[in-house]
Structure 1
Amino acid sequence: MSTIILNSNSVSDITIIPNLFIDQFMPSANGSYVKVYLYLLRCINCPTDIEISISSIADRLDDTEKDIIRALCYWEKINLISLVRGSDNDIISITINDINNLNFKDADPIQETIQATVAAMTKESNEKMEPALTDRSETIPGRIFEKPTYSEAQIKQLTDTDEVKWLLNIIEIYLDRLIKPMDLQLILYLYESVGFSAELIMYLYEYCVSKNKKNPSYIEAVALSWAEEGIDTVEKAEAATALYNSNYNAVNKAFGLNRAPGQIEKQFINKWLNKYGFSIDIIVEACNRTILQTQKPDFKYADKILENWHKKGVKELSQISHLDEEHQKIAAIKANNKPAALNTKPSPGNRFNAFPQRTYTDEDYSSMEQRLLHKQ
């Protein structure tokens, strides 16, 4: 995606988080949305100019690009930021609105208006959600899901079924603790709005807990990633996670690693698989060449190899052999066209070769013979 211009009408050399945001906006917002807003505040108050993009924000916050876009749309909807989109609907500019200069008259109306805004958003989300209480829609790949905040009445209605009660009991066993309100909101969101079955939600929690990840934000990110990829059954999820793990294992084996990849290393692997679209065979080939060249598992070196192949349009492993042949031909041509260096160094076996050598004629030899005879 293109680089985004970030603007603000309230700039300082430190990052200031208004109390109004903490008191009124933060409690009702998704945790990942809050991270995006705080990161924007940090970027805009950087003393030097900074260029950001959706991908750079996603990398920084360890989130998906679609999650970042979802968060920006959320803050735009409640008027904390303003977005400008290009002809292809990509975000090209973000303006952080001054929360203290919104069009409110005094302190009491500020509270009332903000509460009304949040209430209106909640009502809108609930209206979209309520028909789904009896007829849940199917998961649609690529869809951006609205996340409602469930009221006490809705929570009571949704949790008053044997299936949901059973689901909550199983998840408590996975988490090894009682379910918290944030957990409950997420589970109902996945069950009702996203359209996950109880079995798929259980597998989701089983998978995340097996990776030692119990944070609701992480679990939600994995779930939405599955939904956007059209994963709507346990079988599909198992196949996707098996492929995910097999790719990591293949890289580990090529690099001779006996551990799980670190966070930065995972970012490299995901970049090679998702951004470059390389098959695992091509990635393993780059890892093998890295080991031969550097004698160590250097992810940055492998990234340079794969970046070069990506620029040259490599899609299949066979194309790499053609690139190697072309490289060898070019190297051979350069070697043949290189002029031979003159051997001006003396032979190491004769130290007198360092001096200029004379050439003697027959007359020279005759003259020297005469001189020797006269001396006698």
Structure 2
Amino acid sequence: MNYFRYKAYNEDLGHTPVENIFINHYMPDAPGDYVKVYLLGLKCSYSLQNNYLSDEIIAKTINISVEEVQKAWKYWQDQEIINVIHTEGNNDKIVEFIDIREKVLNIKGKETKPAKNSVDRIIMARQNSKVRDMFDYIRKISGRELSQNEIFVFLDWMDDYGFPPEIVVMLIEDCYSRNKKDLPYLKQVAKNWFDAGVDSQEKAIEYANRHKEKWQKYSKVLNFLRIGRQPTAVEEEMLQKWFYEYSFSDEAVLKACELTIKTLKPSFSYIDKVLSEWHDKNIKTIDEIEAYLSRNPSKDNKDGAKAPKRSFNNFKGRTYDTDLLKQRLLKKSRGELSE
């Protein structure tokens, strides 16, 4: 019987194969120390000379506690890319590294869906070329690798909302074009699209254009009032009412804004009061508004729009005899008049 072995003169000159699937899908969201533990163990698994390394030595090598090393083994076992086999009679164990590529092939052959937040779900989804292109494009416009959490959210949109990959890409592009990149915002926009019945590229384009037009209108009001922030939920409801329920033009709404600028405390509530009054009186066009204000000039002063001029006419004035005053001043200057 022949025995074969490969003799390496310098271990540092060797190499350890790390699968791209691990780098792309398992490494990004894993704690950094856990990745170090995995790579150190993987290196030993390929070595014929130094394939034993205790948890204590690993802990000292990467400067962490033994407890953290043990947590790392449990983490990777939960990810189903290693098997930890405990031997009987001592504290030794065998850490068996699983070929992730083979695992992927097994996943493709399974009929059951992988767990919702498992890497297997990502791997299976990427078997679809359109989904793979979607993730690659989003990564490109993001300028970074996507986190597992982001990928799971995008897959949720496809599963829960029925969005095809093209819709997901359009939604991301629309938000990014407005410099809105945080995940909670993206999730809210996705829900809005779903509630609006967006399920095709044509509907997505139509909805995005309406959304753009809406915020252009809202921005005019915010800029006029010098509000450098997003409107609150209550303010946004008012804006929606003015432009789309009352159907006022941009000029009409800005005219109401002019009136509130003259008040002591400009507010959305005042604008809402003005526009509600015009709506109730069926005053819509800017010409009708100007005519209404000219007939009712007091409307400009409503709710303190212009502070009233202060007058002292309500007080009874004193009357003075100027000749008598002159005589008294003359006598006082001569010392003829005592204090």
TM-score w.r.t. length of structure 2: 0.44
TM-score w.r.t. length of structure 1: 0.40
Q: Which has the larger radius of gyration?
A: 2
